Amino acid sequence: MCLAIPGQIVEFMPDQPHLALVEVIGVRRRVDLGLLLDDPPRPGDWVLIHVGFAMSKISEEEASQQFQTLALLGEDTAALEEVRGYEQ
Amino acid sequence: MKFVDEFRDPEVITRTADEIRSLADPGRHYRLMEVCGGHTHAIYRFGLKDVLPPNIELIHGPGCPVCVLPMGRIDDGLALGRDPNVIFTAFGDMMRVPGAHGSPLERKANGMDVRIVYSPTDALKLARANPDKHVMFFAIGFETTAPSTALTLKRAKAEGIRNFSVFCNHVTIIPAIRAILDSPDMRLDAFIGPGHVSTVIGCRPYEWIARDQGRPIVVSGFEPLDMLQSIVMLLRQLKQGVAIVENQYKRVVPWEGNRAALAAMAEVFELRPFFEWRGLGFISQSALRIRDTYAEWDAERQFQVPGVRVTDPKAAQCGEVLKGVLKPVQCKLFGRECTPERPVGALMVSSEGSCAAYYNYEHRKAASTRLEPATV
C-alpha cells in the first residue's frame, strides 16, 4: 500500500474529466487524477499511482526505476494485480 | 549485500557504502529509525544491514498502517459487517489481519459479505451497482491513502450516493514520531523520513524534529542507493553536529507536498482528539475522523459501533516491536506460534510489517544457513 505504481497517461475519459486511461506494463485502467489539480498531467506524462489515484508526476526515467524497485522488492506481481483490479 | 549486482549503479552503491564506513565514528553507536514500513521491507529485502558497519543500527518505525491499528478497531468494523444488508470492503492488506474473533477473510468464509477493493472508488462503484445494499469501506493508511478516501467521499456527496459509508481509521505520521521521541525507553539519533507520505505532506511538517528535538531527518526514496545516500546525509549531519530536514527523494517529493491532496483531506477530515495505536497507546490528535458536513457518509455515525477495546494476545509483543524496543526475533511467539502463514499479530501479516519482513528474509536465510552442514 505504501509502494507507488508508475503508469503513463494514455487519454482522458471524455465523459469523466477527472479520470484518465493509464497504462501500466501493457494493462490499461482508469485512474483518478483529482489529486493532481494543481499541475494536471497530459497524455504521455508519467505518474505514480496509489490506490487508484495519481499522486505525483514523475519523469519517464523515474518510472522505469520505480518498476525496477517494485520488481526487486518482489512486489511487481502484486502491483499488477492491483492495477488489474481498477476499473476498465 | 548479496543482490548488489542486480541494482542500478553497483559501483556507486559500493562507493556509498565505503563513505558510510568512513563517516561512522567507530566509538559511537548509531540508532537510526526508518519511519516507513515500505523502507523496512526494502531494508530486509535488499540486505542493507549487510553493508552497514555493526555500530549503525536501524530501528523499525510505526509506519505500517495495518500494524498500528489496534485489534478493537478491526472488531468494530467487522461488527458493522454482520448486518446482512452491509457489504464490508477493505484493501487486500487488511484481509488477513486478525481481530479478536477472526480476520475479515475468516469472516468471509463464515458467510459475511467481505470484498477486497483496490481503490476506495471501487467501493463507491459497488454502492452504485448495489442500491439495495449498504457498502462500507474500512479505510486505513497514513497520508498516502487518506487523500484518496477524502476525494471518494467528495464524489459520493456530489453524486448523492447514500448507501455508502467510510469507517475511518486514517492516522497521521507526525504525532506517532512525537510519541516515539517522548517515550523514555527510546533513544534515537536520527530519522529516515517516509517517501510517499511526504509526497502529500511535504517536508515542512518534520522541521520541529530537527529544530526542537535536535534529530536530523532525511526524506528518502526506496531504492538501495536512495537509502544508503540518506544514511550518508544523516551521518554527515551527525558528524557536523547539526540537525536539519533534508530531501533525498527530490525527484518525487516536493518540499511543499501536494496541495490538492492536503485540501481534499482538510475539507473532509478533522483531527480526532485522541486515537489508540497498537504499542504506542492513546496519542492525542493523531488520527482523522469525518467532518460533520460528511456525517451521512460516516459509518461511525450511521451505525451503532460497539467501541470494543481488545488487548493483543498476551504472549505477543507487537507493541514493543512496533516501538522498536524489541527486535522481531526477540518476541516469544516469533517464528513459532506466529508466522506469515498463521499470524497472531498484524506485524506478521503486512509485507510492510517488520516481523513479516524479518521472517521472510532474515529468518528463512538463517534457517537455510543452519541446514547447510546437514545437507553437505
From B93, B148, B260, residue closest to A52, measured CB to CB: B148
pLDDT (0 to 100) of residue B298: 98
Q: How far is B26 from chain A (nearest CA, A)?
A: 31
Give chain B's domain count: 1
Question: How many angstroms separate the CA of residue A80 from the nearest CA in chain B?
Answer: 11
* Nine-digit cell string for B302: 450511521
CA A42 to chain centre: 13
Where does the pLDDT of residue B169 fall: very low under 50, low under 70, confident under 90, or very high at 90 and above? very high
Cα gap B372→B61, rounded to integer Å = 33
Q: Is the pLDDT of residue B3 over 50?
A: no
Does residue B152 lie within any of the structural domains? yes
Distance CA(B96)–CA(B341), nearest Å, equals 10
Note the pLDDT tens digit of each residue in A23-77: 998 999 999 999 998 889 999 999 999 999 999 999 999 999 899 889 888 888 8
Sort B130 into a burial class: Cβ within 10 Å, 0-12 / 13-18 / 19+: middle
Nearest to B116 by CA among B145, B143, B87, B144: B87
pLDDT at residue B373 is higher than 60: no
Higher pLDDT, B7 or B183: B183
Flag whether pLDDT at B218 surpasses 60.
yes
The range of the structural domain enclosing residue B219 comes to: 1-359
- Nearest CA to B226 out of B34, B25, B28, B29 is that of B34
Chain A interface disruption, residue of B39, B40, B117, B121, most A CBs within 10 A: B121
Region B298-303: what's the mean pLDDT?
Answer: 96
H helix or E strand, kind and range, residue B103: none
Give the residue on A whose Cα is nearest the Cα of B36: A2
Judged by CB atoms closer than 8 Å, whether chains meet at A73 and B222 is answered as yes
Cα nearest neighbour of A83 on chain B: B118
Tell me the pLDDT of chain B averaged across its residues: 91
Question: Which residues, other chains included, contact B250 with Cβ-Cβ below 8 Å and sequence gap of 6+?
Answer: none
State how far Cα A65 lies from the chain centre: 14
Residue A25's region, left for phi above 0, alpha for psi from -120 to 50, else beta, is left
Find chain B residues with C-beta within 8 A of A51's C-beta.
Answer: 91, 118-120, 141, 145, 148
> Considering chain B, what percentage of its residues have pLDDT values greater than 70?
95
Q: Do B38 and A3 touch (CB under 8 A)?
A: yes
B183/chain A closest Cα distance in angstroms: 26
- According to the model, what pLDDT value does residue B369 have? 55
Q: How far is A40 from chain B (nearest CA, A)?
A: 11
Confidence at A78, pLDDT banded by 50, 70, 90: confident
pLDDT of residue B292: 98
pLDDT of B184: 82
Of the partner residues B93, B147, B252, the one whose CB lies closest to the CB of residue A35: B147
Distances (CA, A) of A46 to A21, A23, B109, B315: 12, 9, 40, 47
State what percent of residues in chain B have pLDDT above 90: 72
**How does residue B328 score in pLDDT terms, banded at 50, 70 and 90?**
very high
Q: Which residues of A fall below an 8 Å CB-CB distance to B?
A: 1-4, 32, 34-38, 48, 50-53, 55-56, 58-59, 62, 65, 68-69, 72-75, 82-83, 85-87
Cβ contact B181:B213 at 8 Å: yes
Q: Do A85 and B41 touch (CB under 8 A)?
A: no
Contact B196 A50 (CB under 8 A): yes
**Minimal C-alpha gap between B339 and chain A (Å):** 19
The C-alpha of A58 sits at a distance from chain B's nearest C-alpha, in angstroms, of 6
B373 located within any domain = no
CATH code: domain of residue B207? 3.40.50.11740
Inter-chain contacts counted by CB atoms under 8 A, chains A and B:
117
State whether A65 and B8 contact (CB < 8 Å).
yes
Q: Chain A residues with CB inside 8 Å of B118's CB? A: 51-52, 82-83, 85-86
Measured distance CA(B208)–CA(B78) in Å, rounded: 38
By Cβ distance, the residue of B6, B145, B258 closest to A1 is B145
Q: Which chain A residues have a beta carbon less than 8 Å from that of B7?
A: 72
Environment class of residue B129 by beta-carbon count within 10 Å: exposed (0-12), middle (13-18) or buried (19+)? exposed
In a domain, B167, yes or no: yes
- A contacts of B260 (beta carbons < 8 Å): 34-38
**pLDDT score, position A15:** 86
Residue B376 within any structural domain of the chain: no
- Listed in sequence order, the DSSP H helices in B160-247 are 173-182, 196-201, 207-211, 224-240
- According to the model, what pLDDT value does residue B375 have? 37
Non-local CB neighbours of B44 within 8 Å, separated by 6+ positions: B357, B358, B360, B361, B362
| Assigned domain for B168 exists | yes
- Judged against a pLDDT cut of 60, whether residue B2 lies above it is answered with no
Picking from B45, B120, B261, the nearest residue to A73 by CB comes out as: B45
b (16+ CB within 10 A) / e for B340-356? beebbbbbbbbbbbbbb
For residue B102, the cross-strand partners are: B99
Residue B208 pLDDT grade (very low, low, confident, very high; cuts 50, 70, 90) = very high
Q: Is A55 in Cβ contact with B200 (below 8 Å)?
A: yes
- Indicate the pLDDT class of residue A1, thresholds 50, 70 and 90: low
E-strand stretches of chain B: 30-36, 56-63, 86-90, 114-116, 134-141, 164-170, 190-193, 217-219, 245-247, 269-271, 274-277, 281-284, 288-290
What residues of chain B lie within 8 A of the CB of A79, using their CB? none
**What pLDDT digit, counting tens, does each position of B91-146 carry?**
998 999 999 889 999 999 999 999 999 999 999 999 999 999 999 999 999 999 99
B319 in any annotated domain: yes
Q: Would the pLDDT of B19 be above 60?
A: yes
Handedness of CA B170, B174, B177, B182 (dihedral sign): negative
Straight-line distance from the first to the last Cα atom of chain A, in angstroms, rounded to the nearest whole number: 21
Quick check: is B50 in a domain? yes
Report the pLDDT value the prediction gives residue B183, as an integer from 0 to 100.
84
User: Does residue B376 have a pLDDT over 80?
Assistant: no
Residue B368 lies in a domain: no
pLDDT, mean of residues B241-259: 96
What span, in angstroms and rounded, lies between the C-alpha atoms of B99 and B106?
Answer: 10
Distances in Å between the Cα of A29 and the Cα atoms of A14, B70, B186, B260 are: 15, 34, 45, 23
Q: Measuring CA to CA, which residue among B302, B330, B336 is closest to residue B317? A: B330
Q: What is the model's pLDDT at position B293?
A: 98
Task: Provide the residue type at B159 as one letter.
Answer: E
